[in-house]
Amino acid sequence: MTQRVDPTPGVVTRGPRWHARWALAAFLVTALVTRAITTTLRLRGAGTEGGLMIDGLHIHHMVFGLIILAVLTFMMLLHAGQGGPWGNRAWVPILFGVGWALILDESALIVSLADVYWEPLGDLSYWVMGAFALALLVAAIWAPERSDASEALDDTPR
């Protein structure tokens, strides 16, 4: 893993490939854990009443993904253009991967506006998650090791 030390002491600039690898790992782990939990609930007979219920309302796990991505987006907005270590922390791409896994696992629900998680239409979520994971995999392999901004700051001769 190529890293470049920023002129700011203690700050390491990490590139898009590093971020994509963390996001991919978080996405895959979250998708597998989420499917394991929902399958376990279903096998135990939870049905449509399973999972988190508030006043008789089933709260789908995509809601937590939306909350994660909303907070992450807000934090990125507040730190845009400031540089520094915030964008170089592993928790940023990890939260990105977790949030999207929670949302895309229920993408069939979003498309159909019905709880089709265990019905044939629910398989759409597998296709959407697969496409997203493939895109992250491509980025994790072929994205630049460093961003253009870090290369512009790099004063080492080539």
pTM value is 0.83
Residue 53 pLDDT greater than 80, yes or no? yes
Question: Which class for 104: exposed (0-12), middle (13-18), buried (19 or more C-beta within 10 A)?
Answer: buried
pLDDT tens sequence across 85-125: 666 789 999 999 999 999 999 999 999 999 999 999 999 99
Question: Which class for 84: exposed (0-12), middle (13-18), buried (19 or more C-beta within 10 A)?
Answer: exposed
What does the domain layout of the chain look like in residue ranges? 14-44+61-142
Res 84: pLDDT: 64
Which region among 12-21, 74-83, 113-122 has the lowest average model confidence (pLDDT)? 74-83
In this prediction, residue 155 has a pLDDT band, given cuts at 50, 70 and 90, of very low
